[in-house]
């Protein structure tokens, strides 16, 4: 059995969007499952629109998702001599011909065909010319068969067939010498030994033309799998109006790559009722034949639910490393202090994104915060001074400054004063965090440390006495 070889071939005319990332992921998973090769090819023949910035954005997006490639990246712009070689081969074998028809002539014939109710395809004017056009500006067309059927068994959609009479003589090289998409993709896939092509189903109509080129060149035809498009919540094709579609934009919004991978693979593929998959499970269980035939609908709520799951169950040390740039964006210069994993542990339960976690972590790094007005009015008042004094006194003399030691200290205060924890926790929380919403109070005291906790409690006392 020959080696399985798959590829991802984006055009560098923009970022790596969600749909492209899912296509790359499906190819990568199948390559890893079959212990084959995953090839990255940059289809940059559109010189006017292709940019290095887009190339960098695509590579960055793939690296963030963990989609490593075995070969490449190959650039089509560096392979023009290869394409010309195959154009000449087809010309020499009589399987292609020169076409001198101008764009204006072609447009006129197209309009006439439409007026007459005919399919607006090339009419073969130059197909059998005896005249030698090698010295004149001309495009090169592939001689497609005018009858019969071209069919293939799509791994997702099943049998698909086209009448050859519906296909015209495809231009494979423009009059300026540049090759066309359908030609370059066949040459690349053939010479790179691609055995399976997984791509969006907007390419289905290209497939019969490409199959005919494979056959004309004497190359084996790869297996094809056309993945349905991703739709927005309004059932139209996913676009910017549905939210950020760049995978790097999701990183900047605080999503984890493992959540994005898990979400993308489930956007069209399923394995029973299982929702959460490790990467190892995905590689083991993924099958392209299990991808649905209908379009997937992008659900931001499902993605954020997955992200919250991965944050909640993530390694605090790794999350701390990811959190650092978010904290620095918020002005925390000493974000990478040793206690950051401990900060993360107090926030994992509630944070749905790294942005939410960074916002929730700010009070740990800022002791000059303003108190929430409603919380201050309710808890920073003379009646709470005895509570603060009791907590300060206990903290200054505590010997077991651990979570359990802090918990025991608060319970002792409740017992000694005949009050409930609900009468101590909220005012202490406001003093330490600025408001009534924060991680568990014992966690907060432990992470802040004895000295910082006492200082913040005394600040609250000063606020009350000076109000």
Q: Looking at residue 118, which CATH number applies to its domain?
A: 3.40.50.620
> To 5 degrees, how large is the angle CA 316–CA 322–CA 323?
80
Decide if 309 is inside a domain: no
Cα separation of 367 and 186, whole Å? 63
* 101 token code pair: 């028809």
Give the pLDDT of residue 346. 97
Distance, in Å, from the CA atom of 378 to the CA atom of 422, rounded to the nearest integer, reads: 13
Residue 244 pLDDT: 62
> Within this chain, do residues 107 and 180 fall inside the same structural domain, yes or no?
yes
What pLDDT does residue 81 have? 97
- Asked whether residue 446 is assigned to any structural domain, the reply reads yes
pLDDT of 188: 98
**What domain count does the chain have?**
4
Q: pLDDT in tens for each of the 467 residues of the chain?
A: 579 999 999 999 989 999 999 999 999 999 999 999 999 999 998 888 899 999 999 999 999 999 999 999 999 999 999 999 999 999 999 999 999 998 888 888 888 888 888 888 898 889 988 777 777 789 999 999 989 999 999 999 999 999 999 898 999 999 999 999 999 999 999 999 999 999 999 999 999 999 999 999 999 999 999 999 999 888 888 876 766 679 999 999 999 999 999 999 999 998 888 999 999 999 999 999 999 999 989 999 999 999 999 999 999 999 999 999 999 999 998 888 889 999 999 999 999 999 999 999 999 999 889 999 999 999 999 999 999 999 999 999 999 999 999 999 999 999 999 999 989 999 999 999 999 988 999 999 999 999 999 999 999 999 999 98
Exactly one of 119, 240, 317, 381 is catalytic; which is it? 240
Shared-domain flag, residues 352 and 383:
no
Same domain, residue pair 214 and 87: yes
In a domain, 258, yes or no: yes
| End residue of a domain, out of 204, 227, 250 | 227
Same domain flag for 222 and 87: yes
- 240 flagged as catalytic: yes
Whether 433 and 337 share a structural domain: no
Residues 112 and 212 reside in one and the same domain: yes
Q: Whole-model pTM?
A: 0.92
The Cα–Cα gap between 15 and 57 comes to 5
Alpha-carbon torsion, ordered 155, 156, 158, 160, to 10 deg: -90
**Integer angstrom CA distances of residue 318 from 80, 276, 356:** 44, 20, 16
Domain of residue 405, residue span: 373-466
């Amino acid at each position: 059995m020959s080696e399985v070889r798959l590829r991802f071939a984006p055009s560098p005319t923009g970022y790596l969007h969600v749909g492209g990332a899912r296509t790359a992921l499906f190819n990568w998973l199948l390559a890893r499952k079959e212990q084959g090769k995953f090839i990255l090819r940059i289809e940059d023949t559109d010189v006017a629109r292709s940019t290095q910035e887009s190339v960098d954005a695509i590579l960055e997006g793939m690296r963030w998702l963990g989609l490593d490639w075995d070969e490449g990246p190959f650039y089509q712009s560096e392979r023009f001599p290869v394409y010309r070689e195959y154009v000449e081969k087809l010309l020499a074998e009589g399987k292609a011909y020169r076409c001198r028809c101008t764009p204006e002539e072609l447009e006129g014939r197209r309009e006439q065909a439409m007026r007459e109710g005919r399919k607006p395809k090339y009419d073969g004017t130059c197909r059998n010319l005896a005249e030698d056009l090698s010295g004149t500006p001309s495009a090169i067309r592939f001689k497609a068969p005018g009858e019969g059927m071209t069919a293939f068994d799509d791994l997702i959609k099943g049998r698909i067939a086209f009448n050859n009479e519906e296909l015209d003589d495809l231009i494979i090289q423009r009059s300026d010498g540049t090759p066309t998409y359908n030609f370059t993709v066949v040459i690349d896939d053939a010479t790179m030994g691609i055995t399976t092509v997984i791509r969006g189903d907007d390419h289905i109509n290209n497939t019969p033309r490409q199959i005919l080129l494979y056959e004309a060149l004497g190359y084996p035809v790869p297996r094809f799998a056309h993945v349905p498009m991703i739709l927005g919540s309004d059932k139209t094709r996913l676009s910017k109006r549905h939210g950020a579609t760049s995978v790097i934009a999701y990183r900047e919004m605080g999503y984890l790559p493992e959540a994005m991978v898990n979400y993308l693979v489930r956007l069209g593929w399923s394995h029973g009722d299982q929702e959460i998959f490790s990467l190892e499970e995905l590689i083991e269980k993924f099958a392209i034949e299990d991808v649905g035939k209908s379009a997937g609908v992008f659900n931001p709520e499902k993605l954020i639910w997955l992200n919250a799951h991965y944050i909640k169950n993530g390694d605090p040390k790794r999350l701390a490393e990811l959190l650092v740039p978010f904290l620095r964006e918020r002005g925390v210069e000493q974000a990478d202090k040793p206690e950051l994993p401990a900060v993360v542990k107090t926030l994992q339960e509630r944070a749905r994104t790294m942005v939410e976690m960074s916002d929730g972590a700010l009070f740990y790094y800022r002791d000059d915060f303003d108190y929430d007005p409603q919380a201050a009015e309710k808890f920073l008042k003379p009646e709470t001074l005895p509570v603060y004094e009791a907590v300060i006194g206990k903290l200054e003399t505590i010997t077991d400054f651990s979570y359990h030691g802090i918990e025991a200290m608060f319970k002792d205060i409740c017992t000694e004063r005949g009050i409930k924890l609900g009468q101590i926790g909220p005012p202490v929380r406001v003093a330490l965090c600025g408001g009534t919403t924060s991680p568990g109070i014992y966690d907060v005291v432990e992470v802040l440390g004895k000295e910082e906790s006492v200082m913040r409690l005394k600040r609250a006392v000063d606020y009350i006495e000076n109000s």
